[in-house]
Amino acid sequence: MKDQRDIRDRIVVAIMPHVVFDGWSRASLLAAAADAGFDADSATNAFPGGAADMVEHFFDLGDRRMLAELEGQEMRDLPPRQRLVLAIRTRFGQFGGDREAVRRALSVLALPANALTGLRVTYRTADAVWHGIGDEATDFSYYTKRVALAGVHSAALLFWLGDGSEDSAETWDFLDRRIGDILRLGKLREDIGRRFAYLPTPSRLFARSRGNGRGRRAEFTG
């Protein structure tokens, strides 16, 4: 499995110059395989799912490279907002400025037949970012954090594709604002959760109502 992943990694790296002209096509795959030293059969076996398979591995490779780069970053003293921005900027850096290749990759994932692959790719990146900054949540927030960050990452990626500012400065400003939004939303959820913890539970409230029709005070939890 590791050897096969290495073949896929090498072909995906070699495919970038070809994708700009021929898209995520068989022609690009065969050209990249030749550049990486593999024959046509090896290329076909490496990506039996065609374009969607290639694109999914392209994003997976970027996630793994981001995690490897983040391991060398000192982030313990950074607030969560800065850690998330740093991680996503690091993730974007794995594209190497190949915006056309990314644009074409997103076009592949936008096809109805590839909708599930697109969702899987987006969730994996969000999951990798949270792991990369050291998040160890295992409760329900594990999922809500990833869903929220997936939306931010997707929006920022689309913004980046059309960003003509120097060094993508406008993208980073946009990203910082959106990260701030989801962190504030997370704090709001926590506050609401704490407040609701002191309200009567529905089952016990209804039980008391059925047992006493004279309207005695409901029993509260907490």
DSSP 112: G
Alpha carbon 200 to chain centroid, angstroms: 37
Q: Which residues contact 100 (CB under 8 A, 6 or more apart)?
A: 19, 20
- Rounded to whole angstroms, the Cα distance separating 98 from 135 reads 29
pLDDT, the chain, mean: 85
Q: Is the pLDDT of residue 73 over 50?
A: yes
The pLDDT of 55-61, averaged and rounded, is 98
- Rounded to whole angstroms, the Cα distance separating 190 from 186 reads 6
- Determine how many CB atoms are found less than 10 A away from the CB of residue 168: 19
The pLDDT of 143-165, averaged and rounded, is 95
The first and second tokens of residue 61, run together, are: 């490779």
Q: Is the pLDDT of residue 220 over 50?
A: no
- Rounded to whole angstroms, the Cα distance separating 174 from 187 reads 20
pLDDT at 201: 42
Per-residue pLDDT tens for 15-49? 999 999 999 999 999 999 999 999 999 999 999 99
